[in-house]
């Protein structure tokens, strides 16, 4: 019998830390989850604690080892991914508070924190060439505007005490190994680091000077990292003695250089083989990884750099070494659906029904929609929103408009507040999110990035309405990886690379990718969605016109 190798993938998302033990063929043996805390001290401000997060990670990994039957000596590598949140620590690696609350443990500015919108606008107006890699517009979800905000508003309490600024995935690998190296994925995608694909990579000192952060260049950029490694490369000498004891693993277990959570999802889902005879095997450059959770990321790869206005990238080797990453996104998807549903007057009734049936609220709403379509004898559920429309940017537009100031819009409201009305509102929200994806795909196509198939992973892949609507709205097949935990699988692949079991990320993807099934679009509904999409595009034009009317 061939002895199996196992790897651990750790994912720190918005609201929880998760870990999985993954077999060398990509089969996930066991998953453990532990909640992490979020503070929301003011509107648009979201904070976390790196101590709280690391404690949650250690609990998860120990749960895995205790419940899976896999001995720690059979774990050959570990990989980490996390949200693109900013972690601040002092010279002793103690937390530095990131607001004026006085709570020192809260040392993380979360990815979805929009406190630095003014600073992001300021950067966008510089016209610096660094902006070419972020679609021409700096997002408040990236790190340069957040760093500007901290220096401007908390210079004495935070900025002057901060010895190290980490992307959360890089903080995790430091905590695990003691290595201060940073991931190319993190710094290229979110910090303005430059990599040209010709062997040249560096921080842009002129950019830092332009935005008033020139002191980050001091001591050879020691506060933001001067040892940049590609994802999956060995990090330090593996697990430190302290981290190994905390995690319940062997000291010096190889640790892969980290990756952002959505990028890990891209690795995990784009690698699956299709279980559908005759289905064409499109190259990576014609595939879109749609990672849907609290927010959504739209990730595709290219052999050459493509610049798409309002879309992040191209980022060289940010996800797969040697390829350019282009990344769109929506700032709120799962979070938006929860908000829409849970704030409706009929939510309590639907929640009670779901509890009685032992299913999710969304399963109940999906059933209501099916019953309504059947009673009305209409072609499909989609047509229930013929006269109901929604613009979904309740938390701003990440791509392709890159306007964090945009807000949500709803057309078609009545005085009714029944569970059927909630179902229609929910359906319109799902459709609007899918129209947002279509908008991103259209802008990519204009620049020569043609997508033929969507690979979908993340929490929303469990919702059949969301899956089918993405296929119907885009007119493209949607591939669902058999292994639902694509993000954890991608993280584990990094550990496999670091262990030298695979010579490259691509090799790990091929060996561990698993299988996938195809959902084909209902092309009979395409003309309906074409009309709805015209309304969708018109709504944002109307919102912009309203602002012009009121500008005086």
Instruction: Go through the domains of the chain in sequence order and give each one's CATH number.
Output: 6-259 (3.30.420.40), 334-440 (1.20.58.2240)
- The mean pLDDT of 517-546, rounded to a whole number, is 97
Q: What is the pLDDT of residue 130?
A: 96
Look up residue 493 and give its two tokens: 């692949």
Distance of alpha carbon 228 from alpha carbon 182, whole angstroms = 5
pLDDT tens digits for 324-336? 999 999 999 999 9
How many CB atoms sit inside 10 A of residue 198's CB? 7
- The mean pLDDT of 66-80, rounded to a whole number, is 96
- Would the pLDDT of 19 be above 50? yes
Average pLDDT, the chain: 96
- The mean pLDDT of 190-215, rounded to a whole number, is 94
pLDDT tens digits for 268-313? 999 998 878 889 989 999 999 999 999 999 999 999 999 999 999 9
- Would the pLDDT of 357 be above 50? yes
pLDDT tens digits for 461-472? 999 999 999 999
**376 — pLDDT class (breaks 50, 70, 90):** very high
Q: What is the pLDDT of residue 200?
A: 80
Q: Considering the entire predicted model, what is its pTM?
A: 0.93
Q: What is the pLDDT of residue 2?
A: 56
pLDDT tens digits for 102-112? 898 999 999 99
Q: H helices of 358-448, where?
A: 361-376, 419-446
Distance of alpha carbon 317 from alpha carbon 435, whole angstroms = 29
**Percent helix / strand / coil, the chain, rounded to 5:** 40, 20, 40
Q: Please, are residues 160 and 150 in contact by the beta-carbon 8 Å criterion?
A: no
Q: What is the pLDDT of residue 201?
A: 92
Q: What is the pLDDT of residue 1?
A: 47
Distance of alpha carbon 165 from alpha carbon 98, whole angstroms = 11
pLDDT tens digits for 506-525? 999 999 999 999 999 999 99
- Would the pLDDT of 249 be above 80? yes
pLDDT-wise least confident of 16-25, 176-185, 501-510: 501-510
């Amino acid at each position: 019998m061939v002895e199996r190798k196992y790897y651990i993938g750790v994912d720190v998302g918005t609201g929880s830390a998760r870990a999985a033990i993954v077999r060398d063929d990509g089969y996930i043996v066991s998953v453990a989850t532990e909640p992490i805390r979020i503070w929301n001290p003011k509107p648009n401000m979201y904070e976390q604690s790196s101590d709280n997060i690391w404690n949650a990670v250690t609990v998860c990994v120990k749960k895995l080892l205790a419940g899976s039957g896999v001995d720690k000596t059979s774990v050959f590598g570990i990989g980490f991914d996390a949200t693109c949140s900013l972690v601040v620590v002092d010279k002793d690696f103690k937390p530095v508070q990131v607001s004026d609350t006085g709570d020192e443990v809260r040392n993380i500015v979360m990815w979805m924190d929009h406190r630095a919108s003014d600073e992001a606008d300021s950067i966008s107006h510089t016209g610096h060439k660094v902006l070419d890699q972020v679609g021409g517009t700096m997002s408040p979800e990236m790190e340069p505007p957040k760093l500007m905000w901290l220096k401007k508003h908390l210079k004495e309490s935070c900025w002057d005490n901060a010895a190290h600024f980490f992307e959360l995935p890089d903080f995790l690998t430091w905590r695990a190994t003691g290595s201060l190296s940073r991931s190319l994925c993190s710094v290229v995608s979110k910090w303005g680091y430059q990599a040209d694909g010709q062997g040249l990579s560096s921080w842009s000192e002129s950019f830092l000077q332009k935005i008033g952060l020139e002191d980050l260049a001091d001591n050879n950029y020691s506060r933001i990292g001067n040892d940049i490694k590609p994802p999956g490369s060995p990090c330090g000498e593996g697990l430190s003695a302290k981290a190994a004891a905390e995690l319940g693993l062997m000291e010096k277990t190889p640790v892969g250089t980290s990756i952002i959570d959505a990028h890990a999802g891209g690795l995990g889902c784009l690698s699956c083989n299709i279980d559908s005879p005759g289905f064409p095997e499109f190259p990576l450059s014609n595939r879109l990884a749609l990672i849907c959770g609290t927010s959504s990321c739209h990730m595709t790869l290219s052999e050459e750099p493509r610049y798409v206005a309002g879309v992040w990238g191209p980022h060289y080797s940010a996800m797969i070494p040697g390829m350019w990453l282009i990344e769109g996104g929506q700032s709120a998807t799962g979070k938006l659906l929860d908000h829409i549903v849970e704030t409706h007057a009929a939510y309590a009734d639907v929640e009670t029904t779901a509890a009685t049936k032992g299913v999710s609220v969304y399963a109940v709403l999906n059933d209501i929609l099916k019953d309504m379509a059947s009673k009305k004898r209409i072609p499909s559920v989609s047509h229930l929103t013929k006269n109901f429309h929604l613009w979904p940017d309740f938390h701003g537009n990440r791509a392709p408009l890159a306007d964090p100031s945009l807000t949500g819009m709803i057309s078609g409201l009545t005085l009714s507040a029944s569970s059927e009305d909630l179902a229609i509102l929910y359906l319109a929200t799902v459709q609007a999110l899918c129209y947002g994806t279509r908008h991103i795909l259209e802008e990519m196509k204009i620049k020569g990035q043609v997508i033929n198939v969507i690979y979908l992973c993340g929490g929303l892949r469990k919702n059949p309405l969301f899956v089918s609507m993405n296929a119907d709205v885009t007119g493209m097949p949607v591939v669902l990886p058999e292994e639902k935990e694509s993000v954890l699988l991608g993280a584990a692949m990094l550990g496999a690379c670091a262990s030298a079991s695979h010579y490259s990320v691509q090799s790990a993807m091929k060996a561990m990718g698993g299988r996938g099934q195809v959902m084909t679009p209902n092309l009979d509904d395409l003309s309906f969605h074409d009309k709805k999409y015209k309304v969708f595009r018109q709504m944002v034009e109307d919102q912009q016109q309203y602002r012009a009317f009121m500008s005086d």
